[in-house]
Amino acid sequence: MCAISVLQSLVSLRCVGAPGRGGWVPPVFAASTLAAACLTAATWNGWPSACAAAGSLLATGARLQAAPQAMRQLFLGASLCWAGHNLLVGSVFGLTCDVLTILGLAIALLRAAPVPPMEPVAPDCARA
């Protein structure tokens, strides 16, 4: 599963969002997602597997995004799914990494969110 994630990340880094990207990118993502689904089915273990599958699917969607905010939102969803997986299997190290990732993504999402312009505030006596 890690090799599939690395493959998708490298293809995404090089090709997604690039003008005139090759027609081979969607089939690579489709094949790698199918391989991940087959591995998940072969190693099914109930809720932990369901959380891992959802996390992998959301991460795949995130890697296909050209817009940074959409990518962050999907990776946040993936990280929450992986946190559920790591909580269910009792992986303290994995859960720690997930919490740090979730915090980093939340901060990045908030920093990039548009801030509405504020109206100037005048004292009450100036309004009269």
Q: What is the pLDDT of residue 22?
A: 74
What does the pLDDT look like over 22-49, one tens digit per residue?
A: 788 889 999 999 999 999 999 999 999 9
Residue (of 5, 82, 8) closest to 51 by Cα position: 82
Q: What is the pLDDT of residue 13?
A: 85
pTM across the whole model: 0.83
Q: What is the pLDDT of residue 1?
A: 86
* Range 70-76, long-range pairs (CB < 8 A, 24+ positions): 72/105, 72/108, 72/109, 72/112, 73/109, 75/101, 75/105, 76/102, 76/105, 76/106, 76/109
pLDDT score of 2 more than 80: yes
What does the pLDDT look like over 78-126, one tens digit per residue?
A: 999 999 999 999 999 999 999 999 999 999 999 998 888 888 776 666 5
Which pLDDT band, with edges at 50, 70 and 90, does 71 fall under?
Answer: very high
Q: What is the pLDDT of residue 126?
A: 56
Question: 104 or 19: which carries more pLDDT confidence?
Answer: 104
Helix or strand or coil: residue 63? helix
